[in-house]
Chains A and B, each alone.
Chain A
């Protein structure tokens, strides 16, 4: 799999013209929007969607969906009724009554932004045929927050940048690309912390550029960061090979033999090993396996995997067990 790009994601924000936006909505309106969207989605023949009303989901299931990046924390904390439709491959999710009535999201592993855009665009066309979108000739798709108006499009990549981080280049890179209209965020999106050297980068500007140009801009900056990360890995390998080999093998050793491990520690170690594989140092496992672990070690997904609720102490033990099993 990809050595730097972990996931590619497209999100489209849409609203209905004949209902107040979610900030001004009551539960009755919210329920009507959910019913209308559910009705339209069920007529779709191309994808099979599962439909969940957030309030009816148990706590653990909600957390699992957040950890899988299928819904946002904001959808869960919504004060009005909210819902989500998720396709069976878990690449597409349509959030209902988040900040906007509709948030169409397509997420693929690796560098797959074009495919994500094509899917999102197709679903958008399908929904638009049957729902009255809030659209203005001048301002484009009308969104709750003016920072999303126009295309309502956010194109983002989750990048694994351990070498640039280790060499202390990230601050400068973030400052530079922010000036180019690119936002840098943490693991769970807006306002979240950078964990495991995973950075989410996305466009900030949504108005005044066609969708294809916005995506091309993010891709071009991403490509430059990928190139810099690869250069940084080479630099580390050339200039401090024994230090790096020790660092990544220590990480591998702990992951392979630990009996008790927290999700934060696991994330850091997975990041080191993932880098070690791409540098050709570690040959005992694969990036694919590490990316599977990246998901599975998260608290809710872990509990879901074992099919039971666990205390944090139980989780740390089970997490270590699962990592050992996958790395075997």
Chain B
């Protein structure tokens, strides 16, 4: 068999890729294989294609989308939602918030879930604990005000301010 790229030398590097049962083969000579580094395939079925499928309405009904909907753009990297649909990849950390509304149904269909319950980074963990403490103190503050315990309320207010300062420093 001759090299599929140059057609001059015998093919000695054989790549086979199987995605969802569809087999793609490439036969190259060493020289062409080296030039290419590794071979990139046009995968017939990639995660990207399937992601695009996730975004379509479930029962095949073509819904005409209002123009504004197709023009959501990430403020962080300028990626449009259309771009994400094509590549299946986000451009930056902010994309998750920029596209959050559209993301929930996608994540539900991929993972059956939309909420992370795993590891919390230590740094982030401290902040989370502070935020939870602030929420708790705010409830306590309201109770104190209701009961007209103003000295206690002032104390709680100071605690909240202190914690908020700590948060903004982080």
Partners in one complex: yes
Q: Which residues of A contact B (CB under 8 A)?
A: 15, 17, 19-21, 23-24, 59, 62, 66, 73, 76-77, 99, 121, 124-125, 128-129, 133-147, 149-151, 153, 186, 191-194, 205-211, 214, 311-312
Alpha-carbon distance A135/B91, docked complex (angstroms): 15
B57 within 8 Å of A by Cβ?
Answer: no
Q: Is the CB of A73 within 8 A of B107?
A: no
- Which chain B positions have C-beta within 8 A of A141? 116, 119
Q: Is the CB of B89 within 8 A of A211?
A: no
Annotate B8-25 by CB proximity to A: 1 below 8 A, 0 otherwise.
000010001111000100
Report the minimal beta-carbon distance from A120 to chain B, rounded to whole angstroms.
11
Alpha-carbon distance A188/B124, docked complex (angstroms): 35
Report the minimal beta-carbon distance from A52 to chain B, rounded to whole angstroms.
15
- Which chain B positions have C-beta within 8 A of A210? 117-119
Alpha-carbon distance A211/B53, docked complex (angstroms): 28
- Which chain B positions have C-beta within 8 A of A20? 76-77, 91-92
Q: Is the CB of A135 within 8 A of B12?
A: no
Q: Is the CB of A312 within 8 A of B116?
A: no
- Which chain B positions have C-beta within 8 A of A17? 93
Q: Is the CB of A192 within 8 A of B37?
A: no
Q: Is the CB of A147 within 8 A of B47?
A: yes
Contact of B90 among A19, A21, A207 (CB under 8 A): A21
Alpha-carbon distance A267/B41, docked complex (angstroms): 24
Q: Is the CB of A205 within 8 A of B123?
A: no
Report the minimal beta-carbon distance from B94 to chain A, rounded to whole angstroms.
9
Q: Which residue of B lies closest to A132 (CB)?
A: B123
Contact of A133 among B43, B88, B97, B121 (CB under 8 A): B121
Alpha-carbon distance A212/B41, docked complex (angstroms): 35
Q: Is the CB of A205 within 8 A of B112?
A: yes
Alpha-carbon distance A23/B92, docked complex (angstroms): 9
